Amino acid sequence: MARSRTGRRWHAVQGSKSVKTLSLFWLGTALFALGMSRTAAATSCTDLAGLQLQDTTITTAAVVPAGSFTPTGATAPITNLPEFCRVAGVIAPTPDSSIGFEVWLPTGWNGRYLQSGNGGFAGAIPYTALGKGIARGYATAGTDDGHQAGGRDASWALGDPEKIIDFGYRSLHLTALRSKEVVAAFYQAAPRRSYFEGCSDGGRESLMEAQRYPDDFDGWVVGAPAYNWTNLLTAHAWNQQAVAADRASALTPEALQTLSQAVIARCDARDGVVDGIISTPQRCSPRPRDLVCQADETANCLTPSQAEAAEAIYAGAVTPETGRIYPGWPAGHEAEPGNWPAWITGPDAAQLAFSTNFFAYMVYDNPSLSVSSINIADAFQAAEARVGPILNSTDTDTDTDLGRIRAGGKKIIHYHGWADAAISTRGSIDYYRNVATRLGRANQDFYRLFLLPGMGHCTGGPGPNNIGQLSAPAGSLADPEHNVLGALQRWVEDGVAPDSIIATKYASDDPAQTVLRTRPICPYPQEAEYKGDGSTDDAANFICVRR
């Protein structure tokens, strides 16, 4: 979907004012900074409290000593932090807007700016990601997207279209502008490079920034993006209707074990390695109906209604009125605690919460709405009409903004786990293919997609799932061979494109513990192929091939 004309007009008006102001400001500060150390701040941290920024109030400007820091409302401290200047503020571009943001400025600055995305419906500053950013020397910023709430709660959107716009894209852009002004004031130099990294809604945000405001950043890490928001949340409702169609359709833990074991038995060996990981779900066709209980079976089988529910999830949301709304979920690892039980089938299924909040507060303005009773086709069409142009990051028009990214030497690295039960990996493949259709193989010049076998939503899962992403546990390797942001930075700054990224599986998914397995993650459509010699747990024994 092309972006809304309203969004383009707003960008043109706001951008023209801000870019002129910032260009003059940065030119002056850059000239002043010649010959100065990047870490020599001419403005003290506390003086930033008096910084005058458009539509912005600075609420905090204070030095945080090295060690631990506990943000307001957090249940645990963020540890192993370097000394930094913490600046917090609120941006109010409209009377209904209250965009909270923070920028953390490390004493040992590497000259770069990093902005972190959110998850779910946002509602909080991504403090943990900010801590990871400054630990690597980035001036790092994040926003609450214009509201304060739990990540599954969209009640703030009821009857407030300006807050929906803030959530959709405005908070991201204004946070980038204001935070860079803070950076320039503190260090007396503008960032020499700027990056955005996010997963889930943060992946949507990353693509949104790339599509609407390609001048804000030099590179984008796009993780498991909820880029077609209206399609995805409709598909969540579709799945919830499937598993609640009748009492016999509920996919119990036992049913999920039956499904998962059948898929592994059917598809594990198709990549040439039997390791309990489905590495090629695109060539794995599950057959739930083959698992229906026969007359003499009472265990390790499915009821007809369970088989029908599983098939609906694998197939994806489709109606006669709309055609295909969303691709289905790939087969594999259904019984993993963080996969289908957490997202689709459990008593607190996240897909139920997200779809209910979306349609109740963003589409129908009806807090008592139940997704079990909505008509899928009607709901999708209503969502598209009301909020699609604001929330969807579906613009693949390479003749405009994505073309500007390629022409300007800017880069995108997009990753997604094959065992993601929140957002279908097939959606990421669809987006990549849409770009490739416009550019052919030339899209590899600026945009590469990496798919991780056995990885869940943004992290976790039974496969090698750590590529240093901000959503992974702290302590990950930071070199470009193992770290997605490091790979992006090297591609942007040194022109070295990532031909693979090594993913690591740690014991208990804790980088402080033993490495269990490594595997090269290849740029799609390539796959990792075992050479035939050596341990299958060692990335060195695989090569990237196109099958």
User: What are 264-321's pLDDT values in tens digits?
Assistant: 999 999 888 999 999 989 889 999 999 999 988 778 999 999 999 999 999 999 999 9
Inform me whether the pLDDT recorded for 333 exceeds 70: yes
What 3-state DSSP class applies to 516? strand
Does the annotation count 373 as an active-site position? no
Selecting among 457, 471, 476, 482, the annotated active-site residue is 457
Selecting among 171, 194, 200, 279, the annotated active-site residue is 200
Q: What is the mean pLDDT of residues 89-93?
A: 98
Q: How confident is the model at residue 2 (pLDDT cuts 50, 70, 90)?
A: very low
Per-chain mean pLDDT for the chain = 91
Instruction: Output the six-digit token pair for 130.
Output: 């900010």
Least-confidence region, from 69-78, 339-348, 536-545: 69-78
Does the annotation count 420 as an active-site position? yes
Give the tens place of pLDDT for each residue, 442-455: 788 999 999 999 99
Give the domain ranges of the chain: 1-191, 196-227+393-503, 231-389
Gyration radius of the chain over CA positions? 23
Q: How confident is the model at residue 474 (pLDDT cuts 50, 70, 90)?
A: confident
Q: How far apart are the first and last CA of the chain?
A: 31
Alpha-carbon distance 100 to 120, whole Å?
17
Percent of the chain with pLDDT over 90: 82
Q: CA separation (Å) from 357 to 232, 387, 477?
A: 13, 14, 37
The pLDDT assigned to 441 comes to: 76
Q: Do 393 and 227 contact (CB within 8 A), yes or no?
A: yes
Alpha-carbon distance 134 to 152, whole Å?
28
Instruction: Output the six-digit token pair for 539.
Output: 């990335």
Vertex 406: Cα angle to 403 and 409 (nearest 5)? 145
Percent of the chain with pLDDT over 70: 91
Inform me whether the pLDDT recorded for 37 exceeds 60: no
Cβ count within 10 A of residue 248: 12
Inform me whether the pLDDT recorded for 209 exceeds 50: yes
Q: How confident is the model at residue 477 (pLDDT cuts 50, 70, 90)?
A: confident
Most confident of 3-7, 33-37, 109-113: 109-113
Residue with tokens 């002129």: 20
What 3-state DSSP class applies to 339? coil
Alpha-carbon distance 161 to 502, whole Å?
43
Cβ count within 10 A of residue 30: 14
The amino acid present at 298, given as its one-letter code, is T
What are the start-end ranges of the E strands in 273-406? 318-319, 323-324
Inform me whether the pLDDT recorded for 33 exceeds 50: no
Give the tens place of pLDDT for each residue, 233-271: 999 999 999 999 888 899 999 999 999 999 999 999 988
The pLDDT assigned to 398 comes to: 60
Instruction: Output the six-digit token pair for 170.
Output: 């405005």
Give the tens place of pLDDT for each residue, 424-437: 999 999 999 999 88
The pLDDT assigned to 528 comes to: 96
What 3-state DSSP class applies to 273? coil
Q: CA separation (Å) from 413 to 198, 485, 487?
A: 11, 9, 8
Q: What is the mean pLDDT of residues 7-14?
A: 38
The pLDDT assigned to 32 comes to: 35
Least-confidence region, from 398-412, 428-442, 480-494: 398-412
Does the annotation count 173 as an active-site position? no
Inform me whether the pLDDT recorded for 401 exceeds 90: no
The pLDDT assigned to 400 comes to: 59
Q: What is the mean pLDDT of residues 143-148?
A: 98
pTM: 0.91
Instruction: Output the six-digit token pair for 380.
Output: 């999708």
Selecting among 153, 420, 428, 482, the annotated active-site residue is 420
Residues shown for the chain = 547
Q: Do 457 and 338 contact (CB within 8 A), yes or no?
A: yes
Least-confidence region, from 40-54, 85-99, 531-545: 40-54
